[in-house]
Amino acid sequence: MSELNEPPLIAHVIFSLGVGGLENGVVNLINTMPEENYRHAIICIKNATDFRQRIKKQNVAIYELHKQEGHDFGAYLRMYRLLKQIKPAIVHTRNLAAIEYQLPAWLAGVKHRVHGEHGWDVFDPDGNNRKYQQLRRFLSPLIDKFIPLSQHLEDYLRKKVGINPDKIVRICNGVDTKKFYPVSQKTSLPGCDLPFNSEFIYIGSVGRMHGVKDQLTLVRAFIRLLEKQPELKANVRLIIIGDGPLRQQAIHLLESKGVAELAWLPGQRNDIADIMRRLDIFVLPSKAEGISNTILEAMATGLPVVATRVGGNPELIDDGETGRLVEKENNGDMAEALLDYVGNPEKRQRHGANGLEKVRRQYALEVMVNHYLAVYDMVLGV
How confident is the model over 103-160, as pLDDT tens digits?
Answer: 999 999 999 999 999 887 767 777 889 999 999 999 999 999 999 998 889 999 999 9
pLDDT band for position 329 (cuts 50, 70, 90): very high
pLDDT tens track for 53-97: 999 998 999 999 999 998 899 999 999 999 999 999 999 999 999
* Burial bucket for residue 103 (CB in 10 Å: 0-12, 13-18, 19+): middle
Q: Which whole-number Å values give the CA distances from 153 to 10, 157, 310, in the listed order?
A: 23, 6, 11
Distance of CA 230 to the CA centre of its chain: 34
Predicted local distance difference test score (pLDDT) of residue 3: 55
Instruction: Measure CA 218 to chain center.
Output: 18
- Arch. (CATH architecture) of 3-174+364-380: 3-Layer(aba) Sandwich (3.40)
Euclidean distance between CA atoms 201 and 232, whole angstroms: 9
How many residues are there in the chain? Answer: 382
Q: How far is CA 168 from CA 145, 148, 209, 292, 375, in A?
A: 6, 7, 31, 20, 10
What pLDDT, on the 0 to 100 scale, is given for residue 2? 39
**Topology given in CATH for the domain delimited by 201-362:** Rossmann fold (3.40.50)
**DSSP codes of every residue in 59-116:** T-EEEE--PPSS--HHHHHHHHHHHHHH--SEEEEESHHHHTTHHHHHHTT--EEEEE
Shared fold status for 3-174+364-380 and 201-362: yes
Lowest mean pLDDT among 17-31, 225-239, 317-331: 17-31
Amino acid found at 61: A
In whole angstroms, how far apart are CA 353 and each of 22, 172, 347?
A: 26, 21, 10
Range with the poorest average pLDDT among 18-22, 93-97, 232-236, 320-324: 18-22
Average pLDDT for the chain:
94
Sign of CA dihedral 221, 224, 226, 229: negative
Residues 6+ apart with CB under 8 A from 32: 176, 365, 366, 369
215-228 and 331-342 helices, crossing angle to 10°: 60
Residue 174 · residue 364 · CB < 8 Å: yes
User: Is residue 287 within 8 Å of residue 329, measured between CB atoms?
Assistant: yes
Domain positions in the chain are 3-174+364-380, 201-362
Q: What is the largest CA-CA distance in the chain?
A: 69
pLDDT mean over 294-310:
97
DSSP string, 266-330: EE--S-HHHHHTT-SEEEE--SS-SS-HHHHHHHHTT--EEEES-TTHHHH--BTTTEEEE-TT-
- pTM exceeds cut of 0.85: no
